[in-house]
Homo-oligomer: A and B are copies of this chain.
């Protein structure tokens, strides 16, 4: 069966979604995206993702030639055409074909549907391991395609036998490579970094769910806070809520509240 991608102004076969290497995303790494998942054939948190996509585009000086209603229609049509329930949709906007290879041009828009791997049962039950690393994403509040440090670090993470990286600057935590990071304190508060992070949508929804039962604090969180915490977990569109088993040499055996929050989140949004 054919798979379709929306490319600038038309639905084309996904395999033909080609860009000339003159595009500014290729030449200068200038692009942005957003990604949401389908529950069945229904987009999850679509309005939040569109809010962020349009905000990213504006912040990056790129114009989206479609209204929000038009983009929604395109997404609906794409989902109908592809008939791939439970997959994800990626909205991608590049700097366009720049005459001088540097100046922002008319963006290229791609809306594509992709499968993704859910977290393993082992990761869900026993948690993932993280390595702390000094770095702050440039323009961290914008969902750019700049993941160069996160990708570049993959061989090191593999060598160290850890699953992902946790960025900090002078001990002040920000986020993982593609996920927000949260801690449960000894007195059952949920704390999470408030600066130099991508405003994650799963993070936002989780904090809303968590606030019904726990005290929630968006604040400065440090490497030292990890040593003093009871539990750690991450949030993200693909991983949803996943416990953390280890950050560097700090081990977490308890994932009770993390698991509770995952169940609350899933009851509220996924299995409702």
Contacts and interface: CB of A to CB of B under 8 A. Distances in A.
Interface of A: 5, 15, 17-21, 23-31, 33, 60-61, 92, 94-95, 100-104, 110, 112, 114, 116-117, 135, 138-139, 144-152, 154-155, 178
Contacts of A146: 28-29, 146, 148
Contacts of A33: 27
Contacts of A139: 148-149, 152
Nearest to A59: B152
Secondary structure class of chain A's binding surface, majority of residues: mixed
Contacts of A116: 100
B152 A148 contact: no
A20 B31 contact: no
A117 B102 contact: no
Given A104-B154, A117-B100, A151-B102, A25 B29 contact: yes
14 contacts: A17-B20, A19-B19, A21-B112, A25-B26, A26-B26, A29-B31, A29-B144, A29-B147, A30-B152, A100-B116, A102-B147, A138-B148, A138-B149, A139-B148
Nearest to A16: B20
Copies assembled: 2
B25 A25 contact: yes
A24 B146 CA distance: 10
A26 B145 contact: yes
A150 B95 CA distance: 13
Contacts of A149: 138-139
Contacts of A21: 5, 17-19, 92, 110, 112
A151 B82 CA distance: 36
A16 to B, nearest CB: 9
A25 to B, nearest CB: 5
A106 B167 CA distance: 27
A259 to B, nearest CB: 26
B30 A151 contact: yes
Given A21-B19, A21-B110, A26 B92 contact: yes
Contacts of A61: 152, 154-155
A154 B103 contact: yes
